[in-house]
Amino acid sequence: MLYYLFTYLKNEFNYTGTGMWQFITFRVTMALLLSLVISLLLGKRIVKYLQRKQIGETIRDLGLAGEQTKKGTPTMGGLIILSAIVIPTLLFARVMNVYILLILLCTIWLGLIGFIDDYIKVFKKNKEGLAGRFKILGQVGLGLIVGTTLYFNNNVVMSREIMDGKKLAPYEKVVSNERTTPDGHRFVDVKTPITTIPFVKNHEFNYSKLISWMGPGAEKFTFVIYILIVIIIITAVSNGANITDGLDGLATGVSAVIGVCLGIFAYVSGNIQFAEYLNIMYIPNLGELSIFIAAFVGACVGFLWYNAYPAQVFMGDTGSLALGGIIASLAIIVRKELLIPIFCGVFLVENLSVMIQVAYFKYTKKKYGEGRRVFLMSPLHHHYQKLGYHESKIAVRFWIVTIMCVVFAIATLKMR
């Protein structure tokens, strides 16, 4: 909203200093700072309120060291994260940008599902919370909205350079007039369902190729495949973040590092000079998403003030479901969803540890009459707790692993 206000003041009155609001870098910095301030100041008030109302976390007895000391710790701290994301974004971003509108919807949608789950656990005294099928239904519904918007909305485009003798692919629909840059390059905006493939020189993959075996004209059904993939990604990553949220500061720190990675992807893909230099797809108007991501990172870092060991507040599903859904949606929007197994490596391994544990237990119970386990306990972070590692050491080491994964993911922009 402030962007529109200062743009008006600049155009109508040419006030000194109003021009800086046109620069994304300035607004990114302001969003980051404000999100930190909100999460620190508002967080203190929310923590005290939750403590006063005795809105505490129900801790299951898993036989883990230190778990008894966590009983009664306030939950629903995800409200701090959501506030520190939404408020700076509304103030500093161009809100009518399709990507901003979509990612705000993702944030509020999954935050609401998580809030309902926490509410049932805390106030209805139901340890199971919201039934799993309703969570999945909510995630599928969001995936349907995100996939449909990205596929059909004409404001979601990528820029193609026009070269003499080179034709656009049959599945690429031109949605803008030709424009020429000062250095003589000619571009048009096109609708095309593509993403980035790591480690490949011709690093673009079009989802239409998945059904090309059906013959000519099959590309018009690409939207079915695309939307299905978006639903799977959002559901998987959202649940991965939810599973990872089991130690003080673990999911928050991992999410902050991943946010930095996605912020870099969004900025370079939304800047024509950087995109041309790195030989990656240029996505018009995507740079505005950097403001949201800055608020996202600031909110996570600010929340760590209260969530680092020993935690004064837990984010609950209000925060964890939203964080995972935001990360998944951002990756899809910046066309880097195939890199998710790399920069979300911790979420992936945590998910796999649960799947392996459950599958192996059921298999051995059927074959030998008793269930056996691969890990001492799943998810993986509890396995290390059982081995005697302090949860702070586990959390920090998972952060370090995530940093390594993120650096590797960024390096794939030039590793082909």
For the beta carbon of residue 154, count every other beta carbon within 10 angstroms. Answer: 11
Contact status, residue 351 vs residue 288, Cβ threshold 8 Å? no
Distance CA 270, CA 283 (A): 5
Output the furthest CA–CA distance in the chain (Å, rounded): 81
Instruction: Supply 132's token pair.
Output: 């799993």
Nearest-Å Rg of the Cα atoms of the chain is 23
pTM for this prediction: 0.92
Contact status, residue 391 vs residue 385, Cβ threshold 8 Å? yes
Per-residue pLDDT of the chain (416 residues; tens, 9 = 90+): 777 776 777 777 777 767 777 788 899 999 999 999 999 988 888 888 877 766 666 655 555 655 656 677 888 889 999 999 999 999 999 999 999 999 999 999 999 999 999 888 888 877 778 888 899 999 999 999 999 999 999 889 888 777 665 666 666 777 777 777 677 777 788 888 888 888 776 678 888 888 877 777 777 888 899 999 999 999 999 999 999 988 999 999 999 999 999 999 999 988 888 887 777 888 988 989 999 999 999 999 999 999 988 888 889 899 999 999 999 999 999 999 999 999 999 999 999 999 999 999 999 988 888 888 999 998 999 999 999 999 999 999 999 999 999 999 998 877 76
